[in-house]
Amino acid sequence: MAARAEAGGAADLRVGGPAGPPEEIRAPGGTDVVIDSVGKTFRRGGRRTVALAEVNLQVAAGELVCLLGPSGCGKSTLLRIVAGALAADTGTVLVGGQPVSGPSADRGMLFQTPMLFPWLTTRKNVLFGPRAQRSAGLHERDDPELDAEADAILRTVGLAGFGDAFPHELSGGMQHRAAFARALMARPSLLLMDEPFGALDAITRVRMHDFLLSMWERYRITVIFVTHDIEEAVLLGDRVAVMGGRPPGVVEVIDIPLVRPRHALDADTAAFLTAKRTIRASLTA
């Protein structure tokens, strides 16, 4: 599976001219995640709600793992703990060997609503991450490089002509794609997606599945995808962590043996149905 370096003129996503040999970086991008005995209890006005108890999960680098479960099973809580938005009461979360302490650009997050900044054009939204990081003194990519990269990413997600459009001028699916481009520009090694397609209609959702699958094939970063939709979990995930129980935790982790690259049409295959049955059995057990 040698990488075919295209001859000069290939507009590949590395910016800055004909860069180094692509053969070097064949390992999947992204880091691994180790969730070890994580527990979280919410206290509000004297009432204690155990959101998570003794959750153990390991995600390999470059894997796409789905967290599947009904509302209230703690999957979003777990995702936010991995993101660093919430602190776990017990246990540790290691991302790439480092413990998580607060949100960072390394762990990008996508939400149910695109969360684009309405006062910025699509292009400026996409450039928000690098610019903010530059303010914080982190990355030193300079403007022409950033502009070229933004153009390339907008082309990749199919928003080439819409750099100057404002978020309210884009459709729902386009907004999600723009949010995706924005998250990628910040160069995370882990992408955390919290039911990102839940608010879309079924047809657009199918297209977004194809979109995500093709993007993931291209970039291969680690993704943890939260959903309550069995089909979505089976279609997207390498493995599905079924969550639930009382107190909530990971009930079972099921391998999805479907062949990659996958497409939305795979939902009609027999292997898909088998996997779906296995998962449903686990959910209802």
Give which of 67, 68, 69 is closest to 33, Cα–Cα: 67
Q: Between 119 and 246, whose beta carbon lies closer to other proteins?
A: 119
Pick the closer one to other proteins by CB: 263 or 277.
263
The interface region with other proteins, picked from 45-53, 63-71, 157-165, 245-253 by CB under 8 A, is 157-165
Determine which residue in the list 102, 140, 257, 270 makes contact with other proteins, applying CB under 8 A.
102
Residue closest to 111 by CA, chosen among 158, 156, 166, 176: 176
Binding part of the chain for other proteins, among 63-71, 214-222, 240-248, 275-283 by CB under 8 A, reads 214-222
**For other proteins, which residue of 91, 96, 172, 247 counts as binding (CB under 8 A)?**
96
261, 273, 277, 280: residue in contact with other proteins (rule CB under 8 A) = 261
Does 118 contact other proteins by CB under 8 A?
Answer: yes
Report the sign of the C-alpha dihedral through residues 258, 263, 65, 98, in that order.
positive
The answer to whether the bond into 247 is cis (omega within 30° of 0) is yes
* Phi (first) and psi of residue 113, to 5 degrees: -100, 150
Instruction: Provide the mask over 183-202, with x wherever binding to other proteins is found by CB under 8 A and - wherever it is not.
Output: x--xxxx--x----------
> Residue 238 interacts with other proteins (CB under 8 A)?
no
Output the smallest distance, CB 174 to other proteins, in A.
10
Cβ contact 88:81 at 8 Å? yes
Site string for other proteins, 22-51 (x = CB under 8 A): x--x-xxxxx--------------------
DSSP string, 226-273: EES-HHHHHHH-SEEEEEETTTTEEEEEEE--PPSSP-GGGGGSHHHH
Closest CA to 159 of 189, 186, 121: 121
